[in-house]
Structure 1
Amino acid sequence: MANVTLNTPPSSGAYKLKKRAYLDPTIFNSTVLSLSLAGVTSATGTVATATSGSQSLSGDMDQLHLRTNVANAFSLSGISFSAGGKKYVSKASGDLQVDLSPVTGIGTSVGTLTPSQGEVTLNAWVPGSSPAVSDWRGVASPPVNGAFTPYNTYAVVFRLATAPIRTGSFSVLGTMADGTTFNYSADSDGIINAPRVKGRINYTTGVVKLVGVSPTAPAGVIKQDLSWLNIPGVVDGYIDLIRQETLRYNAVAFTYLPLDADLLGIDPVRLPSDGKVPVFREGELAVVGHTGLTAPATAIVGTPISAGRTRLSRLRLLGNDGHVIQTGYTEDLEAGTATPTDVTGWSQPVRMEHRIEDYALIREAQIDGTITFTRPLTHNYPLGSFVSSALRAGDLKARMSLMFDQATWNNVTFSDVPVGDAAPGTYNIGGNPMVLTNAGAITERWALRFKTTQTFDIVGEHVGVIGEGSINTVTAPINPATGVPYFTLAVAGWGGGWGIGNIVRFNTIGAMFPFWLIRTVQQGPEAAADYSFLTIVRGDVDNPIA
């Protein structure tokens, strides 16, 4: 330990050292006393000027200080170390203890810890032991605020406690790292374009993006790209640090009154207060797509109409009257073309509506609306593209669920069990199975109602009477939506003995996934033109059998 120099004592001539040592005042006249700490039991005074003199003394150290350098408002905590064969531990209160009980965790107090100074003061230690300290442990904690906080950042993204937010009601205030305070408000478009902060708020979701900037060029700093903020006129800028612990905001949010379940049409108990539910979640599927429209052009037989891009998911032709052209052309989705084969009756000129898509698994859905997929997208999607949620239906296949016959029918009730007596005739479904296709079959209850001993009406519970059939010909009513039969019954399956009024009852299940579409129109003035939506059924595998 280095020597310590003591200043000249006061005019009284008496000098007190650690409350225990007193020196003869005669040796202090115009002297400087040096105290050597090489030994702890005595000290020697040396006269630097005038007559030399010395006096032995006995001194006891009553405190030992261990200091760790902490700066920039850091603080020290969680101290532990070993000295003299004992383990020293600091408590949360700052008390330094040894001989901690393994049961209570409480030991003997031997000192204190001053966190802000990083200093340990020992009031007691093992006499005669080595002063060496080993196994020193501690945590230097940064300040949570102030100029030296490590929580400064160039960009901040956060979501307000509630949403949606009233347009023009959002303002944010805080402090830059250099101490400059700010208080800025967003305009009606949600944009903040101020000298020290650039950013925007989504009034619908309550998500806020802020970037700190400097109005002048700091030394050694170059401009950074800020075009991703989509602020008109802002392309780049000199970014600067924001003390994020100082950020505060003010906003006016909308709240919603719960509606009666009878008025709403569904039970709102499991819905959020605003009636909105998450559309995109991690691990779910989504469809990224963009729909384009070509310029009007006169269609010529044999001349392909090009979409200008390849690998389309679908296309269709629209006449000048706005109606969809159903026939008279062939399509090549890979090449992105449609080739007219017969333009008779077309409303010229025509346009092509074409669409590209990617079907992918969602890896992450962030609060700012960013969606990340588990694989790269295979198309370049222009501005105006959409991400749609996808409802997985699993494996689907058209099938027949039941068939029976009965003697009479009330022409109204489609019961799934026979009512009354069985009919004299029957259809041999085991030997002549019904043929169903995924394209033609629908989920429907059917009745074949005999009007003679050989002919019958084909009646559906929802589609009504769609035609008639005979036991002497193949029964295959056409589904007008797809151009293929709803079902097909063979002639060989019919037995004899049918009478007027007999019926054959059966149910078919289509390869379509049932789901509900619900739209709520709130009270108030008209806010926009007509709305529309489109649902598309997608299949993962092309099945030539279907």
Structure 2
Amino acid sequence: MANVTIPFEETGNALELSSFLAISANTVLSMSLAGANSAAAKYASAASGSTSFSGDMDELHLKTNVANAFVLSGVSFSAGGKRYVSKASGDLHVDLSPITGNGTKVGTLTSGQGEVVLNTWPAGMAPAVTDWRGVAGAPVNGAFTPFNTYLSTFRIATAPIRTGSFSVLGTMQDGTTFNYSADSDGTIDEPRVKGRINYTTGVVKLVGVTPSAPAGATPVDLSFLDIPGLTTAYIDLIRQETLRYNAVAFTYLPLDADLLGIDPVRLPSDGRVPIFRPGELAVVGHRATTAPATAVNGGVVNVGRTRLSRVRVLGNDGHVIETGYSENLEAGTVTWNDVTGYSQPVRVEHSIEDTGLQRDAQIDGTITFTRPLTHDYPIGSYVSSALRAGDMKARVSLVFDQATWNGTTFSDVPVGDPAPGTYNTVGYPITVTNDGAYTERWALRFKTTSTVEVFGEHVGNLGEFSINAVIQPINSVNNKPFFTIQPAGWGGGWVPGNLLRANTVGAMFGVWMVRTVQQGPASAADYSFLTVVRGDVDNPAT
């Protein structure tokens, strides 16, 4: 409010500048809100008198009650036909430009007090405020913060984490502080906090609990934390802004690309890449083994579950037995036909599997498929990534002849002069099958005018064959021919030293597999991994 100048007669009509506060102790002012502009004043020891004065209002205060550490972070209102808006700086603007967003400063906003002070307005503007709008900002910390939760999930800034090195501290809503550490399994099982950390990914889940049952509260299922002995608990709130953690993370030194054999520039620092992604295939499976038992011809073993994906028979020496039995995967049975030579007793390893398209893969390890699984999978089941090869077909990709060969070089173009004889690939093509063909470069060198030696670039010398009979070198892996050449295709004119070159492509998918065991003390007796090649359902290899 403005200061008021009053000519008091008792002081000799001298003008004295006083504030309302200074004179309020000795003066009683009476003002009419109906428009009167006179006031009467009286000293306690003197006669009363009156005088005329004028007063100006220079500030208009608009107050919004804020409590519990909330603040008024922004306001807008209408007065006198104009729109008033507060800016981030706390200034109050009017007549805002649609281009710059700024206007004329006419006041201020004090956020913590919830108060708007208007110090400039048009003459004659009615002191009426309409369409008031304000934004209340919640406190980010303290007892009144709304950012409390009973479940908090976050990921540590780096991973993997050293086992047993994680601890978390914070404050419950009631002010109780805590400082807990995870055990070697990543479990936090304490009176006020239950939780788990995945040391590999660095993902942490924390649930606030209370040791006593609040009135009217219902226990909540916490079995998703997989903490032994914990099923339900009464939840309580954790103040999120107070959460802090300590952990020790591993770092990895870069290795020479020549040593690795690949360029690691696009690999993560720890060398790991994600193998589960939405839109890719994954295989859910479980493998179990029957108890050792003596196999007898004609005997049947029922493994106790149906619709198996595969079975393996293991001898007492740990080796895989591949013959002497037949299996019924649908029924889950194995029948012994000839157990001669078995290392007894034997075990039957049986597997169930589902292949599905991934719909989602979360950072906490949760994988969702586009369709339900068809088996019940017990604890100990696994999820494997699947590398799709597409349609595969064996074929002969190249055939030509030449007069001589040095015995070592497998060139894909003729070297030197062509042979005097020519194989008729049109009338009698070299044939291959999916179950026998191998991706290999072949050389058939004439030893005599009627016999050839068959060489493979990788499989070596497979022996001598007559061109007057069907030539079928056998693949020792499955006792199927690598290829078949008909005698009618040779014709005449061949002499010793001539060469027929051919390339075959097998119905197989080339994969590079690298397993790295990092340096350090031995933590296991042996390291191994298993790869399985799978084909389409009901599509036997031919």
Which interval holds the TM-score relative to the shorter structure?
A: 0.7 to 0.9
Cα distance in 1 for partners of 2:395, 2:277 equals 33
Alpha-carbon deviation of 1:421? Answer: 0.9
Give the match for residue 277 of structure 1: 273
2:85 counterpart (89, 94, 99): 89
For residue 224 of structure 2, give the secondary structure of its aligned residue in structure 1: helix
Give the match for residue 457 of structure 2: 461
Change (3 A) 1:541 1:235: closer
Give runs of aligned pairs for residues 59-98 of structure 1, distance below 5 A: 59-98=55-94
Greater shift, 523-532 or 128-137, is seen at 128-137
**CA deviations over 1:113-137 (Å, ceiling 9, x no partner):** 1222333222223344455544444
1:314 counterpart (268, 288, 310): 310
Alpha-carbon deviation of 1:534? Answer: 1.1
Change (3 A) 1:289 1:17: farther
Alpha-carbon deviation of 1:109? Answer: 1.0
Give runs of aligned pairs for residues 464-543 of structure 1, distance below 5 A: 464-540=460-536, 542-543=538-539
Greater shift, 122-131 or 393-402, is seen at 122-131
The answer on whether the counterparts of 1:197 and 1:212 sit within 8 Å (CA) in structure 2 is yes
**CA deviations over 1:470-508 (Å, ceiling 9, x no partner):** 222222222222332222222332211111111111111
Whether 1:338 aligns to 2:339 is no
Cα distance in 2 for partners of 1:318, 1:336 equals 16
AA partner of residue 61 (structure 2): H
Whether 1:228 aligns to 2:224 is yes
Give runs of aligned pairs for residues 436-447 of structure 1, distance below 5 A: 436-447=432-443
Give the match for residue 185 of structure 1: 181
Cα distance in 2 for partners of 1:299, 1:42 equals 120
**CA deviations over 1:358-411 (Å, ceiling 9, x no partner):** 212223322322222232222211111111111222332212211101111111
AA partner of residue 341 (structure 1): N
Give the match for residue 138 of structure 1: 134
Give the match for residue 344 of structure 2: 348
Give the match for residue 403 of structure 1: 399
For residue 367 of structure 1, give the secondary structure of its aligned residue in structure 2: coil
Whether 1:239 aligns to 2:239 is no
Give runs of aligned pairs for residues 99-178 of structure 1, distance below 5 A: 99-178=95-174
Cα distance in 2 for partners of 1:74, 1:304 equals 76
Change (3 A) 1:23 1:517: closer
Cα distance in 2 for partners of 1:68, 1:270 equals 57
Give the match for residue 379 of structure 1: 375
AA partner of residue 80 (structure 2): G
AA partner of residue 391 (structure 1): L
The answer on whether the counterparts of 1:24 and 1:55 sit within 8 Å (CA) in structure 2 is no
**CA deviations over 1:439-490 (Å, ceiling 9, x no partner):** 2111111111111112212211001122333222222222222332222222
1:218 counterpart (206, 210, 214): 214
**CA deviations over 1:263-303 (Å, ceiling 9, x no partner):** 33433322222222222223322211111111122334444
The answer on whether the counterparts of 1:110 and 1:123 sit within 8 Å (CA) in structure 2 is yes
AA partner of residue 281 (structure 1): R
Alpha-carbon deviation of 1:40? Answer: 6.6
Cα distance in 2 for partners of 1:279, 1:40 equals 83
Change (3 A) 1:186 1:104: same
TM-score by length of 2: 0.88
The answer on whether the counterparts of 1:157 and 1:368 sit within 8 Å (CA) in structure 2 is no
Change (3 A) 1:228 1:19: same
The answer on whether the counterparts of 1:455 and 1:471 sit within 8 Å (CA) in structure 2 is yes
Greater shift, 253-262 or 351-360, is seen at 253-262
The answer on whether the counterparts of 1:18 and 1:61 sit within 8 Å (CA) in structure 2 is no
Cα distance in 1 for partners of 2:26, 2:358 equals 87
Cα distance in 1 for partners of 2:18, 2:359 equals 71
AA partner of residue 466 (structure 2): S
Give the match for residue 416 of structure 1: 412
Whether 1:450 aligns to 2:446 is yes
Give the match for residue 368 of structure 1: 364
The answer on whether the counterparts of 2:286 and 2:381 sit within 8 Å (CA) in structure 1 is yes
Alpha-carbon deviation of 1:25? Answer: 7.5
Give the match for residue 7 of structure 2: none
Change (3 A) 1:117 1:27: closer
The answer on whether the counterparts of 1:451 and 1:500 sit within 8 Å (CA) in structure 2 is yes
Change (3 A) 1:44 1:226: farther
Change (3 A) 1:307 1:58: farther
Cα distance in 1 for partners of 2:475, 2:35 equals 108
Alpha-carbon deviation of 1:142? Answer: 1.8
AA partner of residue 298 (structure 1): T
The answer on whether the counterparts of 2:435 and 2:541 sit within 8 Å (CA) in structure 1 is no
RMSD of aligned C-alpha atoms?
3.1
- What is the aligned length? 522
TM-score by length of 1: 0.87
For residue 116 of structure 1, give the secondary structure of its aligned residue in structure 2: helix
Alpha-carbon deviation of 1:541? Answer: 5.1
Greater shift, 457-466 or 326-335, is seen at 326-335
Q: Percent identity?
A: 72
AA partner of residue 216 (structure 2): G
Cα distance in 2 for partners of 1:87, 1:231 equals 59
Alpha-carbon deviation of 1:509? Answer: 1.1
Cα distance in 2 for partners of 1:62, 1:18 equals 14
